Structure 1
């Protein structure tokens, strides 16, 4: 029984650690241009490999910065960076 509890706790911890941010989908015509999010990452020296709108409605960039693989999330309404994960 203790092993099952420990396994359940580890699963919950891993899920929380990899949770992506949630965004509110912008109203029609109110979205920040995607290229501005990409541009802000590139201005830091990042290289964008791909881009998508994730299941939480956030802009998501996959790229590298200083030799590190990164996942960077942006708010689609404001274009502000929300989170950054070393991938």
Structure 2
């Protein structure tokens, strides 16, 4: 195997290994009929103090994910369990 082929093989292996880690957390295995509706979840998120939500989506890990700001105005990326609304992972910026 030449150096270029080896480099490409290693790069591909690293990308495949990192893929699940970059995809975000796994929040639930429950069927969608057990989830809070998007409207109910948006209400819960607002009650938790998150605001200026520019993105609300469902992830491949079965989470509700938002991009917005916390109650102190800091940028927030937050993953929620869609069944009970609990925070699974959050990244709060300065």
Normalised to the residue count of structure 1, the TM-score between the two structures is: 0.62
1:10 is aligned to 2:14: yes
Alignment of 1:66-85 (within 5 A): 66-68=73-75, 70-85=76-91
Partner of 1:53: 58
Q: CA deviation at 1:41?
A: 4.7
Q: Find the aligned partners of 1:64 and 1:71 in 2 and give their Cα distance.
A: 8
Instruction: Indicate the RMSD between aligned Cα atoms, in angstroms.
Output: 3.1
Could you say which structure has the larger radius of gyration? Answer: 2
Normalised to the residue count of structure 2, the TM-score between the two structures is: 0.59
- Structure 1 stretches lacking a partner, 5+ long: none
- Runs of 4+ aligned residues of structure 1 deviating over 4 Å after TM superposition are none
Distance 1:41 1:54, change over 3 A: farther
Kindly tell me the number of residue pairs found equivalent between the two proteins: 83
Distance 1:71 1:29, change over 3 A: same
Q: Find the aligned partners of 1:85 and 1:12 in 2 and give their Cα distance.
A: 24
